[in-house]
């Protein structure tokens, strides 16, 4: 007489050890990646410092969202920008120009202003920002 054996249940794989190993590897690479020195690869991260009260912008260059540039409440055309920046840099003892740009300004327009500042001999360009309200 033959006895029927109960049907075999499909074997379920236990994935918990695999998940644990993957999780531990993730933590290891996160820690190892954050400890790597950026300067070893020749990268110098941007340094940001909070301006002191004495560093208030003097005659800032204002750029609205449409790319219109003004300084001292006078509109400046693109072809006059280098000359205006040369005068502004000459009036500043440390040749610093402060720029207040609208956050919706196209990056290409901002790049053009920075190139004009370089042609004008400006030594330092500072972008004036606003601290986000919490």
Q: pLDDT tens for residues 43-102?
A: 555 555 565 545 555 678 888 888 888 888 888 888 888 988 888 877 776 777 888 888
Would you state the structure tokens that stand for residue 106, as one six-digit string?
A: 């196209």
Which pTM value belongs to this model? Answer: 0.56
CB-based burial label for 22 (10 Å; 0-12, 13-18, 19+) = exposed
Residues 5-31 pLDDT 10s: 877 777 777 888 999 999 999 998 887
Class of domain 56-127: alpha beta
**Displacement of CA 103 from its chain's centroid (Å):** 13
Q: 79, 85 in Cβ contact below 8 A? A: no
* Torsion angle of the four alpha carbons 52, 53, 59, 61, in this order, in degrees rounded to the nearest 10: 50
Helix, strand or coil, per DSSP, at residue 63: strand
Q: Give the integer Cα–Cα distance in Å for 84 and 90.
A: 10
């Amino acid at each position: 007489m033959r006895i029927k054996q109960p049907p075999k249940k499909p074997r379920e794989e236990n994935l918990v050890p695999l998940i644990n190993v993957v999780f531990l590897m993730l933590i290891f690479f996160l820690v190892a990646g954050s400890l790597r020195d950026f300067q070893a690869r020749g990268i110098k991260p941007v340094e940001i410092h909070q301006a002191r009260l004495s560093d208030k912008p003097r005659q800032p260059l204002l750029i609205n969202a449409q790319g219109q540039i003004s300084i001292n409440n006078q509109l400046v055309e693109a072809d006059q920008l280098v000359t205006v920046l040369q005068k502004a840099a000459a009036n500043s003892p440390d040749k610093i120009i402060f720029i207040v740009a609208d956050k919706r300004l196209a990056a290409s327009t901002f790049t053009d202003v920075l190139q004009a500042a370089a042609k004008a001999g400006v030594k330092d360009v500072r972008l004036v920002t606003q601290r986000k309200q919490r």
